[in-house]
Amino acid sequence: MRILKLSFLLGVLGLLVVPAFGQKLASKTLETAAITRPSNSLVPLGEVLAQLAETYNVNFVYEDEVVQGKMVPKLEKTSNLQQDLQLVLGSNALSFSKVGARTIVLKPMSPEPPAPRLPAGGTIKGRVTDEFGEGIPLAQVLIEGTTMGDAADENGDYIIENVPPGTYTLRTRVIGYKSATAEVKVSEGEVVNQDFVLEMDVLSMEEIVVSGTPGGSGMTKREASFAITTIDVHDIAQSSPSSTANLLD
């Protein structure tokens, strides 16, 4: 009977001791986990830096305005200096660099430089016509010293866009007309109108041979009963004709 009573008492004590030990172990585990988490309370950044300086035996160098008014989470437990600094400095746009063995310099992160702003170009537009006001199709309008330009459409209109601000010389040319130039000044976002009136350039045209054979194409020059006349550019220059009919007279 005594043996049974003793076993019964030991069993009861075991039931009481095991839960108590389990509760104590769980409480200790929770306490440890709480220590490793950063606190939700905020403290001045200077105070945390002083804590880190003492813990890791380092010196922090910074301007007063760098930490003034900045609040960070309080560190309940520290384990790695670099990780701790990243935690408290990252949210405040601060960076750090190590100088020597025990000196750490704090400074604001350099903002990313803004993308360079390209100046908005201007536009040059206009019309190329002859002396009678008729548009000259395919007349080339070029900006000298650049690769920019345009060819006039069927109405003689042209347009050159995205021209950087500056002063330029425009040159227009087309077969059968004298070339012309004009100086234009382009400002940012401005539309410059520049028209051209071209004079006919008879001297720049190649000589034209006009012939006729009443008897058909089978007749040779020796057999022809009419004269064949060739007019070259020098003859045209000397006579200065006002029309093709006057030229052939």
Q: What DSSP letter does each residue of 22-50 carry, written as one string?
A: HHHHHHHHHHHHHHHSPPSSEEEHHHHHH
pLDDT (0 to 100) of residue 237: 57
Place of tokens 């301007």: 63
Q: What is the reported pLDDT for 54?
A: 87
> Which one is predicted more confidently, 122 or 55?
122
**pLDDT tens for each residue of 128-146:** 999 999 999 999 999 999 9
d(CA 167, CA 187): 9
What is the model's pLDDT at position 111?
A: 73
**Can you give the pLDDT at residue 6?**
44
C-alpha 181: how far from chain center: 34
Rounded CA gap, 32 and 228, in Å?
Answer: 118
Position 157 scores a pLDDT of 97
Q: What does the buried/exposed string (b/e) look like for 76-101 if buried means 16 or more CB atoms within 10 Å of the residue's CB?
A: eeeeebeebbebbbeebebebeeeee
Contact between 127 and 114 under an 8 Å Cβ cutoff? The reply is no
Q: What residue has token string 């866009």?
A: 161
Residue range 207-217: average pLDDT? 56
How high is the mean pLDDT of the chain? 75
Give the pLDDT confidence of 73-110 residue by residue, as tens digits: 777 766 788 888 887 787 778 888 888 888 988 888 77
CA–CA separation, 25 and 30 (whole Å): 9
pLDDT tens readout for residues 138-169: 999 999 999 999 999 999 999 999 999 999 99
Whole-angstrom distance, CA of residue 181 vs CA of residue 172? 6
Cα 5 to Cα 12, 15, 17, 18, distances in angstroms: 11, 16, 18, 20
Q: Tokens in use for 33?
A: 């986990």
Which of 128, 194, 193, 191 has its CA nearest to residue 162?
Answer: 191
pLDDT of 213 above 70: no
Strongest mean pLDDT among 9-18, 192-201, 224-233: 192-201
Which domains are seen in the chain, by residue range? 42-108 (3.55.50.30), 122-202 (2.60.40.1120), 206-249 (no CATH)
Strands 157-163 and 122-129: antiparallel
Q: Give 3-state DSSP helix, strand, coil % of the chain, rounded to 5.
A: 30, 25, 40
State the pLDDT at residue 28. 40
Instruction: Identify the pLDDT of residue 247.
Output: 56
In angstroms, rounded to a whole number, what is the distance separating the alpha carbons of residues 178 and 165? 28
- Angstrom distance (rounded) from CA 46 to CA 48: 5
Per-residue confidence (pLDDT) for residue 4, from 0 to 100: 43
**Residue 199, pLDDT score:** 93
Per-residue pLDDT at 173: 94
Residue 47, pLDDT > 80, answer: yes
Query: Rounded to whole angstroms, how far apart are CA atoms 26 and 32?
Result: 10
Highest mean pLDDT: which of 2-16, 46-60, 109-123? Answer: 46-60
Number of residues that make up the chain: 249
Residue 113 has pLDDT above 80, yes or no: no
The pTM assigned to this predicted structure is 0.40
Q: C-alpha 58: how far from its chain's center? A: 44
Residue 81 near residue 58, CB atoms below 8 Å: yes
pLDDT at 248 (0 to 100): 58
Band (219; pLDDT cuts 50, 70, 90):
low
